[in-house]
Structures are given as structure tokens and as C-alpha cells.
């Protein structure tokens, strides 16, 4: 008897349509984030308040959105604010106010967000 482990050959598929295969590989790396219109409207209102009054108050939905992006992409608080600012820059909404990391830190203690934390194995 040999002590070497038994290995099975994996099914090898021959790629016949390279154009389609390459396109699918590119799509795997694409990032798509959909934000509801009501959330974008709330963000727009916060940006207007900031210009008028100077004090920022963020709705619970904005804080939840920031914290969900933080959790989904496993970011730190400062990284998540930078990530959201860069998303707004890409969307052409660079004038929208993003909550500071200290605001997110304070609010995450009082908010309860139910997240189904299923990990792929």
C-alpha cells in the first residue's frame, strides 16, 4: 500500500469563447451599489442644511447606510467615510455631506442594525 493521498482529476473545461470568458472575468470585478432615491434625497437635504445653518444632522437611514457599507466591505470608520466620499465623487455628488467617523462611532452604539451574517465557505 502506498501512503500517497488519492487525487482525482478535476473536470477541466476547454474555453471555446474567449471573448465571453474575458467579459465575464471583467464583470466579476465590477462594483455596483444602488442607493434608494429616498436616501439620496435625505442626503441632499443634509447638504442644504449644512450650507444654511452650519450644524449637520444626519437621518438614521444615512447612518445605517454608512454603517452597512462599513460592515459589508470590512472597513474601519475612517475608511468607510473615505469610501462613501469617493462614491459621491464618482456619482458627481461631491457636494453631499458625509458623516464624520466620530459621528458614525457615536451613532453605531445606539442603532440596532439586523444583519444576516452569512459567510461563504
44-94: pLDDT as tens digits:
888 776 655 555 578 888 999 999 999 989 999 999 999 999 998 888 888
Q: How many domains does the chain have?
A: 1
Q: What is the pLDDT of residue 33?
A: 82
Residue 78 domain flag: yes
User: Is the torsion defined by CA of 43, 49, 54, 57 positive or negative?
Assistant: negative
Q: Is residue 44 part of a domain?
A: no
Assess if residue 50 is contained within a domain: no
Do the domain assignments include residue 75? yes
Domain hosting residue 63, numbered range: 59-115
pTM above 0.85, yes or no: no
> Biggest alpha carbon distance in the chain?
82
Local structure of 76: helix, strand or coil: coil
Answer yes or no: is 76 within a domain: yes
84 lies in some domain: yes
Amino acid at each position: 500500500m502506498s501512503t500517497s493521498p488519492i487525487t482525482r482529476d478535476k473536470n477541466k473545461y476547454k474555453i471555446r469563447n474567449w471573448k465571453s470568458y474575458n467579459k465575464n472575468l471583467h464583470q466579476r470585478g465590477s462594483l455596483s451599489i444602488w442607493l434608494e432615491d429616498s436616501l439620496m434625497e435625505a442626503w441632499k437635504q443634509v447638504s442644504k442644511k449644512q450650507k444654511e445653518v452650519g450644524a449637520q444632522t444626519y437621518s438614521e437611514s444615512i447612518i445605517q447606510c454608512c454603517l452597512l457599507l462599513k460592515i459589508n466591505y470590512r472597513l474601519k470608520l475612517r475608511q468607510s467615510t473615505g469610501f462613501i466620499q469617493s462614491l459621491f465623487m464618482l456619482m458627481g455628488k461631491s457636494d453631499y455631506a458625509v458623516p464624520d467617523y466620530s459621528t458614525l462611532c457615536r451613532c453605531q452604539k445606539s442603532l440596532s442594525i439586523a444583519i444576516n451574517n452569512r459567510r461563504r465557505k
